Structure 1
Amino acid sequence: MIRVGITGHSSLTPRTREMVRAALRTTLRPHVQHGLHGVTCLARGADQLFAHAVRDVGGSYEVVLPADDYRDAKVKPDDLPEFDTLVEYATTVHIMPFSTSGRAAYQAASAHILDTVDWLVAVWDGQPSDGAGGTGDTVAAARERGLPVTVVWPEGAARD
């Protein structure tokens, strides 16, 4: 089984969301024959698109929630049905030992993902992080560990 993690931007334009989901399917599909298993925090944007793409190609995934309050504090009401459905499809849901969501919880969740995967996919525009624990920081941490990183950023992609 190959375990693949995700990091990526949460704010993507609607057109970019479609392009990223298709690019993720293309990236992941060749690995299904090896028992593809994704690991995601299910944040809005890249993480949720990744979960959908893993399912689209026949893989499974688990969820790492950064804190006890993540769903109630960070998932917008309009996004709750999709979030809840994706949690339902997860093989496992792991909640990091934080009561409240914040940078420390997000960094710990990202570190947990890097500790448990063979490969990282990054939906990343290549720009530095705007704060500790952002996509760029997670990519740098993966590379420092020697973890393979595949960057997915289709031509014409844009952030909100």
Structure 2
Amino acid sequence: MNRISQRQLDGLTPQVRPFLAQIAAAARTPALTLLSGLAEGADRHVAELALDAGYALHAVLPFARDTYVRDFTGAASRAQFGELLARAERVTELSGRSGFSAQAYRRAGHALLDESDVLLAVWDGLPAQGAGGTAEVVNEACRRRIPVIHVSTQPRTSPVLIWQRQGSATRGRSAYEAAPSRRCGPSQVAAMVSHLMRAG
């Protein structure tokens, strides 16, 4: 679960929506898909924004849906999850076991990255609290040289683009720490998408 408040979620909308639009505008004709684990909080909020922006949704679940739904807090959360699954173009249910949730979340994060060109990370920027969390997924994306748009949940923090196009991580530093980062706006998104389309 992305443990952020409703107020923080509401604050994400004006930050996330422009990036979804900028990526779509820069990509022009290709169909765009958002991959998401649909955890409570930011995952679902961004999924709803992406669907509203015309993206397809591919849900990548760490467990079978009947197992995963047991982790959710209340009937409203389970209903929201069901509604998003119904709107998903594709649902992948991984074979995680509830007694091994850290490994299941790590595997789901890697499965998301296996099919991703860009990672949109809504994250407080703090180190990993355990295996399979956002910090670990961001670091793995940097290791794979997948561009990361980091939208912080911290107040008064501008989004940044983290992207190591070439070279390797400096010894003793994580891929995330070694990757260059800069403020991210429309021109950076357009340049990134253009580069990815040429490379693809």
Aligned twin of 1:4: none
Identity percentage of aligned residues? 30
Determine whether 1:109 maps to 2:101. no
AA of the residue aligned to 1:29: A
Higher mean alpha-carbon deviation, 9-18 vs 84-93, is at 9-18
CA RMSD of aligned residues (A): 1.8
Aligned twin of 1:97: 95
Residue 35 of structure 1 and its aligned partner are, at CA, apart by: 2.3
Aligned twin of 1:70: 68
Residue 15 of structure 1 and its aligned partner are, at CA, apart by: 1.4
TM-score (norm 1): 0.86
Question: Which whole-Å CA distance do the structure 1 matches of 2:154 and 2:103 have between them?
Answer: 32
TM-score (norm 2): 0.69
Question: Which whole-Å CA distance do the structure 1 matches of 2:153 and 2:42 have between them?
Answer: 13
SS in 1 for 2:119: strand
Higher mean alpha-carbon deviation, 22-31 vs 86-95, is at 22-31
AA of the residue aligned to 1:41: G
Larger gyration radius, structure 1 or structure 2: 2
Aligned twin of 2:196: none
SS in 2 for 1:133: coil
Residue 62 of structure 1 and its aligned partner are, at CA, apart by: 0.8
Q: Deviations over 1:70-109 (max 9, x none)?
A: 11x2122231111111111000110012243611111100
User: Which consecutive residues of structure 2, in runs of 5 or more, have no partner in the other structure?
Assistant: 157-200
Match 2:45 to one of 33, 45, 49: 49
Residue 31 of structure 1 and its aligned partner are, at CA, apart by: 2.2
Determine whether 1:60 maps to 2:56. yes
Aligned twin of 1:130: 129
AA of the residue aligned to 1:142: A
